[in-house]
Homo-oligomer: A and B are copies of this chain.
């Protein structure tokens, strides 16, 4: 099966597990919209690519880890788009969750994000029941990637502070989910996640730099979301700190380091090619070939 198909099936399985047939209808619609609106699935693809490179001896666990990581990502997007943060009208080329309803949109968006976080852990626990020894490490990897210590929630909370370290902010807000992706891919296949951390972290930092570049040099139709948000919200950004050329150079350095860090394994070349292609995809059209 194609990797993207595998991811969509794993997401559908998670939704089937979590949503009740006689549950509140609007919440069900909001949750499905948040998860199933087509996205790049960059994080779950990374989970499966690393699991594959590690032998993928428990595909159900890898699928669950991939889907759960994407659920956590979707949760953060839903909350991040709310009026209290970015007040965004569109995401992935579709209305944001809080704009999907004439009434109660914000309530439903808040509940959708909460529910997706819960579902991520439920889904992981359910689908790893044949490999109970892997659940603990996987739960810790995912939780730390989103938590109040050094996860997405911490990263986002730096936006409420005046004294911010840009590297720590990006490491937590974006790179944390990518390092969790590579670690979870290895842990889902029963391997030590430690050696896989640098790959994910550097890809994540590169991804954030690419996102900052697209925010200044991309256009809304290309991205499926508004541009110019960093400046509008006075958010710390790699472009603001390094300029466009400096940010492009930084992105290339991060990618080289990421590829160099891939542990010796049969899937090494395939993974390196995937990382390279991913970055090409992310550079805004206006900057390609620089």
Residues of A within 8 A of B (CB): 18-20, 22-28, 31, 75, 79, 82, 84-85, 101, 103-104, 106-108, 110-119, 121-122, 124-126, 128-129, 132-133, 135-136, 139-140, 143-144, 146-151, 153-154, 156-161, 168
Query: Can you name 5 A-B pairs with beta carbons within 8 Å?
Result: A22-B168, A26-B161, A107-B160, A114-B146, A126-B136
Known pairs A20-B148, A24-B158, A27-B160; list 7 more (Cβ under 8 Å).
Answer: A23-B157, A113-B114, A115-B148, A115-B153, A115-B154, A117-B117, A122-B143
Residues of B close to A112: CB separation below 8 A: 148
Shortest distance between the CB of A28 and any CB in chain B (Å): 7
Query: CA of A153 to CA of B156 in the docked complex: distance in angstroms?
Result: 23
Q: List the number of copies, as a whole number.
A: 2
Assembled-state Cα–Cα distance A122/B147 (Å): 9
**What's the least CB distance linking A107 to chain B, in Å?**
6
Partner of A132, one of B26, B75, B79, B135: B135
Within the complex, the shortest CB–CB distance from A225 to chain B, in Å, comes to 19
CB-based nearest B residue for A146: B118
Q: Tell me the nearest residue of chain B to A155, going by C-beta.
A: B24
